[in-house]
Amino acid sequence: MMRTRPLKVALLGCGVVGSEVARIMTTHADDLTARIGAPVELAGVAVRRPDRVREGIAPELITTDATALVKRGDIDVVVEVIGGIEPARTLITTAFEYGASVVSANKALLAQDGAALHAAAEEHDEDLYYEAAVAGAIPLIRPLRESLAGDKINRVMGIVNGTTNFILDKMDSTGAGYQEALDEATALGYAEADPTADVEGFDAAAKAAILAGIAFHTRVRLDDVYREGMTEVTAADFASAKEMGCTIKLLAICERAADGGSVTARVHPAMIPLSHPLASVRGAYNAVFVESDAAGQLMFYGPGAGGSPTASAVLGDLVAVCRNRLSGSTGPGESAYAALPVSPMGDVVTRYHISLDVADKPGVLAQVATVFAEHGVSIDTVRQQGKDGEASLVVVTHRASDAALTGTVEALRKLDTVRGVASIMRVEGE
């Protein structure tokens, strides 16, 4: 039987995403009612600038007092799309205290304080859903914590930031330099006026922490994620990648150690073979590649940001939470039973591409090879070009630990015949 009393929704934030959530709730009201089993009603919208015209939202719903809104006591679901740590954290925990479940898109908060938020939700027997926090419209959180809950996930690797993928794709396809590609991304609205969170990997690192925690049933915080931005990637790096049959992507990589005893989470640029599915992800799109014991290899692909895609994920969570509320149940909460340690970046094993500027004279290659051997790093291929007394030496290693590679590079810098280390890049996806 259809319930006639509406479920009341409080919306915190009415920017690009929030306004789209409000629009869909209004224009798709009948469909949402049919899918949920009861009507949903937008009961209030908390904003910072009440004087702005917000088409489709009744003026009497607008308030600047977000705290009073979540404390009303008759709110069923709070949708938080304001972002940041505070006041979002306090508003979410207050919502739980006053009997509301929460749908959030706040990746930074979840990466930093996800455990505390889950604990608060469990204490008050409320839901905390956050599909929109990672990869926009792409269904990813729910498949990991529900569809694959009976499987053992070994690796999650993906492109989770559309801005950086757009920039790197432009550098790859047009030969543009980093700044030129960034300027185009900014002009098209793909990059913020201050792109630091994207290009330095902070955004992707927060998403990696969330994904690793869910995939490995282990608490992984933002501080546990190794982060390296992509501002130093050059046209020369792309030229080297093409010679290897690769391209370059900023990847979020979460993986379980071979012995199953620990996990790692990292974000950095990497060369990836053109044969790998992630290599074909173009423009501002996102894609995440999941490897598990039973399901094998899966890839989730789609638009990873923007008002409509993110609102789609928010509405999906809203429907799920409302259905739970009607049935008197809650969905899956935090699963951190495995409590695996998070290993440091030095323990990570992968391949490396190292470009060296060296003197063009006999014996240089032998000296360099000796340094690699002394640090236990095996060389896969070497390519050397030179003229007029100067040369470039490109070395691709077999798999080695980050710590061993770091020691190798430090020793190489001490050689008189090595003028400098032009670039170091990891090679993933093989």
Q: Which two tokens stand for residue 20?
A: 């789209």
CB 326 within 8 A of CB 36: yes
Instruction: Catalytic residue, from 107, 170, 207, 249: name it.
Output: 207
Predicted confidence band at 118 (pLDDT cuts at 50, 70, 90)? very high
CB 310 within 8 A of CB 132: yes
How confident is the model at residue 51, as a pLDDT?
Answer: 87
Q: Which two tokens stand for residue 215?
A: 């995939």
How confident is the model at residue 391, as a pLDDT?
Answer: 86
Predicted confidence band at 3 (pLDDT cuts at 50, 70, 90)? low
Give the helix/strand (H/E) hosting 268. strand 263-273
How confident is the model at residue 27, as a pLDDT?
Answer: 95
> Rounded CA gap, 68 and 422, in Å?
56
Segment 364-383, tens digit of pLDDT:
999 999 999 999 999 999 98
How confident is the model at residue 55, as a pLDDT?
Answer: 85
Tell me what the mean pLDDT of segment 152-177 comes to. 96
Predicted confidence band at 213 (pLDDT cuts at 50, 70, 90)? very high
Range scoring the smallest mean pLDDT among 76-85, 146-155, 357-366, 410-419: 357-366
> Rounded CA gap, 18 and 325, in Å?
22
Q: Using CB atoms within 10 Å of the CB of residue 313, give its burial: 0 to 12 exposed, 13 to 18 middle, 19+ buried.
A: buried
Segment 104-115, tens digit of pLDDT:
999 999 999 999
How confident is the model at residue 385, as a pLDDT?
Answer: 76
Is residue 207 flagged as an active site residue?
Answer: yes
* pLDDT score of 181 more than 70: yes
Number of Cβ within a 10 Å radius of residue 38: 19
CB 393 within 8 A of CB 368: yes
Which of the pair, 192 or 266, is modelled with greater confidence? 266
Find the Cα–Cα–Cα–Cα dihedral 399, 404, 405, 407, rounded to 10°.
-170
Phi, psi (deg, nearest 5) at residue 135 = 65, 30
If DSSP codes are grouped into helix, strand and coil, which group holds residue 357? strand
Tell me what the mean pLDDT of segment 189-214 comes to. 96
* pLDDT score of 388 more than 70: no
How confident is the model at residue 386, as a pLDDT?
Answer: 66
- Would you give the distance in Å from CA 359 to the centre of its chain? 41
How confident is the model at residue 189, as a pLDDT?
Answer: 87
Q: How far is CA 348 from CA 21, 213, 265, 293, 403, in A?
A: 41, 18, 9, 21, 8
Segment 280-319, tens digit of pLDDT:
999 999 999 999 999 999 999 998 878 899 999 999 999 9
If DSSP codes are grouped into helix, strand and coil, which group holds residue 78? strand
Number of Cβ within a 10 Å radius of residue 48: 11
Tell me what the mean pLDDT of segment 351-373 comes to. 94
CB neighbour list of residue 285: distance below 8 Å, 6 or more residues apart: 159, 162, 165, 301, 302, 303, 304
Segment 227-238, tens digit of pLDDT:
999 999 999 999
Tell me what the mean pLDDT of segment 141-156 comes to. 96
How confident is the model at residue 351, as a pLDDT?
Answer: 97
pTM > 0.85: yes
How confident is the model at residue 429, as a pLDDT?
Answer: 86
Cα R_g (the chain), whole angstroms:
24
- Percentage of the chain beyond pLDDT 70 is 98
How confident is the model at residue 52, as a pLDDT?
Answer: 86
Tell me what the mean pLDDT of segment 74-79 comes to. 98
How confident is the model at residue 387, as a pLDDT?
Answer: 61
